[in-house]
Amino acid sequence: MKEILKGHIVHAPALGQLEIIEDGYLVLEDGVIAGIYSQLPGEHADGKMHDYGDRLILQSFADMHLHAPQYPMLGMGMDLPLLDWLDTYTFPVEARFADTEYARRVYRRLANELITNGTTRVCMFSSLHTDATWVLMEELEKAGVTGFVGKVNMDRNGKEGVYQETTEESVSETLRWLEGCHFDHVKPIITPRFTPTCSDELMAQLGKIAAEKGLYVQSHLSENRAEMAWVLELHPDCKQYWESYHKFGQWKDHTVMAHCVHSDASERRAMREHNVVVAHCADSNINISSGVCPVRQMLDEGIWVTLGSDIAGGQQLPMYRVITTTIRSSKVRQMMDDWKTPFLTVPEGYYLGTTAGHKYFGGGFAVGDALHAVVVDDGNFTESTRPLSINERFERALYMMEQRNIISVWSAGRCVVGR
Ligand SMILES: [Zn+2]
């Protein structure tokens, strides 16, 4: 089926670049972008028209790191450092997801909040529970959120008797979970929580499963100094944190590592050489005082950086807010670096929260890609003193918009919110 979206089209094809097509036309063939035009070619005049008038059509957002079972604890425990925060709040809350009915209620609401805020692609952590993880995948699929979800693995340093698996359970449940993953748009990803919570035996098994089944891996890296010291204590044979993943075959192309705040030059080189993806989570890094990530430096070195809300270390899901926090955090970094490091511009922040993440799943906002877009109505913003350019309206929307401004969401070529 041929469909046409009409409005002001804005997307970021490359870092620092913004492409704006004022009063443009986006032509879809069966949900796949066939062309973007400033004037509609006659051959496409027969398509079904979605006329969004004076509104902005933006590429949708990709959240590359978040914890679904931490959704009920948003805004809690923010005065604790990472390791205490995990023990006091996170593990007991995640343990609650043994109850699949509770999981259903929470995950339905989470999926709805994601999609109505324009997050159409995710790379997400579930809990230890196989059944609740299927529930999560099902609810995402129903809402129109696409991407990867991982059943979390942890067989040590959790909360024994409350929230921890044996090594055997962790492996057999992972295999049972993979058997039952039959979703069109939500796929499994191997997810060791982080090195301190996974024994060598478990890490080896997970690396083997990922290799045999051709699955990607996601985990955490160099978020906090105490965590890094702990990893080196547990792995005296490793000089650096990343090696504790590498030695079990988990440090490879498309491995997503959340945070990487304190990764030094040689750890960063290992990321670039193996095409490991950084999920930078500015809200979380500031909330739990982990540090201010040197994102500009990573980008200059050619590292693949994406963004994550990291709820519930992060306190908010909407990626347009995560993008503006990322920009603010880069300005703090500039001040820390004696004003020597350039901060991230609005087009750069937008690129990281959209295109850089979409690329992970294969596709972006070009001909041949399934459409992932949001339609933003900025009509209720304060009246300006003069007519604004589309560029100015885009910047204002990124900083000011709320859920109610998103009137339509397209995910994998389908209109899943609005019309
Ligand atoms: Zn995390």
Q: What value does the mean pLDDT of the chain take?
A: 97
How many A from CA of 300 to the centre of ligand 1?
25
How many A from CA of 339 to the centre of ligand 1?
30
The tens digit of pLDDT for each residue in 38-75 reads 999 999 999 999 999 999 999 999 999 999 999 999 99
* pLDDT at 82 (0 to 100): 83
Question: Letter for the amino acid at 363?
Answer: G
DSSP labels, 1-39:
-EEEEEEEEEE-SSTT--EEEEEEEEEEETTEEEEEESS
As a whole number of angstroms, the distance between CA 56 and CA 34 comes to: 19
Q: How confident is the model at residue 205 (pLDDT cuts 50, 70, 90)?
A: very high
How many A from CA of 67 to the centre of ligand 1?
6
**Bridge partners (DSSP) listed for residue 150:** 125
Tokens of 320: 């347009």
DSSP labels, 299-343:
HHTT-EEEE---BTTBS---HHHHHHHHHHHHHHHHHHTTT-SPP
How many A from CA of 396 to the centre of ligand 1?
29
**Bridge partners (DSSP) listed for residue 258:** 220, 279
pLDDT at 279 over 90: yes
**What would the mean pLDDT of 205-214 be, rounded to a whole number?**
98
How many A from CA of 370 to the centre of ligand 1?
28
Is CATH 3.90.420.10 the classification given to domain 61-353?
A: no
**Bridge partners (DSSP) listed for residue 411:** 414
How many A from CA of 219 to the centre of ligand 1?
8
pLDDT at 78 over 90: no
Tell me phi and psi for residue 51, to 5 degrees.
-90, 105
How many A from CA of 258 to the centre of ligand 1?
6
CA angle 34, 350, 293 (to 5 degrees): 140
pLDDT at 240 over 90: yes
Provide the percentage of residues in the chain whose pLDDT is more than 70: 100
How many A from CA of 115 to the centre of ligand 1?
20
The tens digit of pLDDT for each residue in 307-354 reads 999 999 999 999 999 999 999 999 999 999 999 999 999 999 999 999
The tens digit of pLDDT for each residue in 341-393 reads 999 999 999 999 999 999 999 989 999 999 999 999 999 999 999 999 999 99
Q: How confident is the model at residue 81 (pLDDT cuts 50, 70, 90)?
A: confident
Which CB contacts under 8 angstroms, 24+ apart, belong to 384-393?
390/8, 390/10, 390/20, 390/22, 390/56, 391/18, 391/20, 393/8, 393/56
pLDDT at 406 over 90: yes
Q: Enter the pTM of the model.
A: 0.98
Provide the percentage of residues in the chain whose pLDDT is more than 90: 95
**What would the mean pLDDT of 130-155 be, rounded to a whole number?**
98
Pick the CATH number of 2-60+364-417 from 2.30.40.10, 3.40.50.800, 3.40.50.150, 3.40.50.740: 2.30.40.10
Q: How confident is the model at residue 80 (pLDDT cuts 50, 70, 90)?
A: confident
The tens digit of pLDDT for each residue in 256-275 reads 999 999 999 999 999 999 99
How many A from CA of 359 to the centre of ligand 1?
21
Single out the residue of 244, 253, 187 nearest to residue 220, CA to CA.
244
How many A from CA of 363 to the centre of ligand 1?
25
How many A from CA of 281 to the centre of ligand 1?
9
Question: Letter for the amino acid at 9?
Answer: I
Domain regions of the chain by residue span = 2-60+364-417, 61-353
pLDDT at 250 over 90: yes
How many A from CA of 356 to the centre of ligand 1?
19
How many A from CA of 150 to the centre of ligand 1?
12
How many A from CA of 285 to the centre of ligand 1?
10
How many A from CA of 105 to the centre of ligand 1?
22
pLDDT at 138 over 90: yes
pLDDT at 160 over 90: no
Tokens of 330: 């880069």
